[in-house]
Amino acid sequence: MITLQEINTIITRAIYPARKDELIAFVRREGYPEEVARRLETLPEHYYGSADSVMDALRALD
């Protein structure tokens, strides 16, 4: 199971602001584990301004 810390390390490399689908596409394009994409799929549809905002949303789902 991938940790939130590992997800944070990955998504900090994305370009922001980004929509949920753009983040998922980034993860898949860069070859990160599919589990990261699956976790991001649980996020609400939203424009995320930073990795911190993504992490806040993921923590709220846990």
Q: How far apart are CA 21 and CA 19, in angstroms?
A: 5
Identify the domain containing residue 47 by its residue range: 4-61
Cis ω before 17 (30° cut-off from 0): yes
Digit-coded pLDDT (tens) for 2-21: 999 999 999 999 999 999 99
> What pLDDT is stored for residue 62 in this prediction?
81
Residue 51 banded pLDDT, cuts 50, 70, 90: very high
43 has pLDDT over 90: yes
- What pTM did the predictor assign? 0.94
Domains: count for the chain: 1
Average pLDDT for the chain: 97
Q: What mean pLDDT comes out for the span 26-43?
A: 98
